[in-house]
């Protein structure tokens, strides 16, 4: 007798929108590159979209003071002499030669560049978002700047994609901040802060990847300036002879290497840290324990710091699974920690907890390495 087992349906994930904003901030390139400082976010006292919108206005206003950058744009025009590439089809179709004209396509230096178009789009988008979070003053400021760009000849972009190519140093911050603002999840109308998202419904897998990227960004921002090496997606290899192709691959989420050479392997999870056993008691999930065990023991043959490498299984907790707990022990000589970190906390507390887990002895929990002490 055969039976069919239906595949589990994706569960609805409800996470406070402020928690998602926090993760998106830490995962963004604008944060990792230092365009947005940790200190400015923690001390802002306003919602993240309002803070980012204000930063965007500040950055665009600075560009106005230094003059906007210019760029090349592809132009099609009927002109009296050849410039760029001749469009023979249009020239013949409209009998332009008889009128003393010729259709050409050429690059023209203009203020109506893709970068400035992108900034105008971001400002117009920010106007609506800030109105939605009742930040009328900031919304008006964005609207005025967008209108000013339009009056200068900057058109709406044909594509809202992030500008490709090399950016001028002065454009890097406003573009990076604009990109973060456009990527922020937006609560659907009619929902409270524990809501789904109007951009798209985030699955558990997407939230886990966002949590992983946020941890990487946080560690990169705070630890790299003081000599740590932070890597993401590093592959580990089995210590096996004539390795069969059927062996599963091992790709880590994050590996930290301290200035002293100590190694910490981190795996990020967006699920409950515990599972209920047969007698009703909570226990760690065996598959997660085996995963961490395999990461650490498989690399011992490399010697050096791998013989005492540390492993951390780090869980994001929220909603019904809200936890903030750490269980530490030695596993065959390797320091191991299973820890949950609440997403329903302040940005400062999240940062302090995450950094304390990987480097408890460092005196940097209140110091921003990108700020002058």
* Residue 308 pLDDT > 80: yes
Q: Which residue has the tokens 């928690």?
A: 19
The full DSSP string for 323-368 is: ---EEEEEETTEEEEEEEEESSS-HHHHHHHHHHHH-TT-S-TT--
Give all domains of the chain, ordered by start, each with its CATH number: 18-69+113-195 (no CATH), 74-106 (no CATH), 204-358 (3.40.1350.10)
319: region left, alpha or beta (phi > 0 left; psi from -120 to 50 alpha) = left
Residue pair 24/183 in contact (Cβ under 8 Å)? The answer is yes
Res 198: pLDDT? 43
CA distance 117 to 63: 14
The three-state secondary structure class of 60 is helix
| pLDDT tier, 187 (very low <50, low <70, confident <90, very high otherwise) | low
Find the range with the poorest average confidence among 15-24, 88-97, 223-232, 360-369. 360-369
- pTM over 0.75? The answer is yes
* Residue 69 pLDDT > 60: yes
Report, in angstroms and rounded to the nearest whole number, the Rg of the chain calculated over CA atoms: 26
Q: By C-alpha distance, which of 128, 156, 162 is closest to 142? A: 128
Res 165: pLDDT? 75
Q: Tens of pLDDT along 101-140?
A: 999 998 888 898 889 999 999 999 999 888 877 888 889 9
End-to-end CA distance of the chain: 72
Q: What is the mean pLDDT of the chain?
A: 85
Phi, psi angle pair for 337, to nearest 5°: -135, 135
Average pLDDT over residues 39-56: 85
């Amino acid at each position: 007798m055969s039976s069919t087992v239906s595949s589990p349906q994706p569960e609805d994930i409800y996470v406070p929108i402020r928690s998602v904003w926090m993760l998106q901030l830490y995962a963004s390139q604008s944060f990792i590159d230092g365009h947005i400082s940790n200190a400015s976010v923690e001390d802002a006292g306003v919602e993240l979209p309002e803070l980012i919108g204000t930063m965007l206005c500040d950055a665009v206003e600075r560009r106005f003071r230094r003059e906007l950058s210019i760029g090349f744009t592809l132009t099609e025009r009927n002109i009296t002499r050849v410039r760029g590439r001749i469009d023979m089809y249009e020239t013949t179709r409209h009998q332009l030669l008889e009128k003393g004209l010729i259709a050409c396509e050429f690059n023209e230096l203009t203020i109506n560049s893709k970068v400035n178009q992108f900034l105008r789009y971001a400002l117009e988008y920010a106007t609506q978002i800030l109105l939605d979070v009742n930040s009328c003053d900031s919304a008006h400021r964005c609207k005025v700047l967008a209108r000013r760009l339009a009056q200068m000849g900057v058109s709406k972009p044909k594509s809202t994609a992030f500008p490709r190519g090399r950016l001028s140093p002065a454009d890097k911050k406003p573009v990076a901040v604009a990109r973060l603002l456009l990527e922020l999840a937006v609560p659907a109308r009619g929902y409270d802060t524990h809501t789904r998202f109007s951009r798209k419904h985030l699955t558990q897998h997407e939230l886990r990847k966002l949590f992983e990227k946020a941890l990487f960004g946080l560690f990169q921002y705070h630890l790299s300036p003081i000599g740590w090496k932070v890597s993401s997606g590093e592959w580990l290899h089995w210590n096996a002879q004539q390795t069969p192709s059927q062996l599963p691959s091992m790709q880590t989420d994050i590996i930290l290497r301290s200035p002293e050479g100590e190694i910490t392997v981190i795996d990020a999870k967006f699920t409950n840290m515990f599972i209920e056993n047969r007698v009703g008691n909570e226990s760690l999930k065996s598959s997660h324990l085996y995963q961490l065990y395999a990461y650490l023991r498989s690399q011992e043959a490399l010697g050096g710091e791998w013989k005492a490498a540390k492993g951390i299984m780090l869980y994001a907790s929220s909603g019904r699974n809200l936890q903030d707990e750490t269980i530490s022990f030695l596993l065959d000589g390797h320091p191991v920690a299973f820890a949950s970190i609440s997403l329903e906390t302040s940005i400062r507390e999240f940062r302090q907890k995450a950094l304390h887990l990987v480097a408890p002895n460092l005196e940097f929990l209140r110091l921003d390495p990108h700020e002058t002490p």
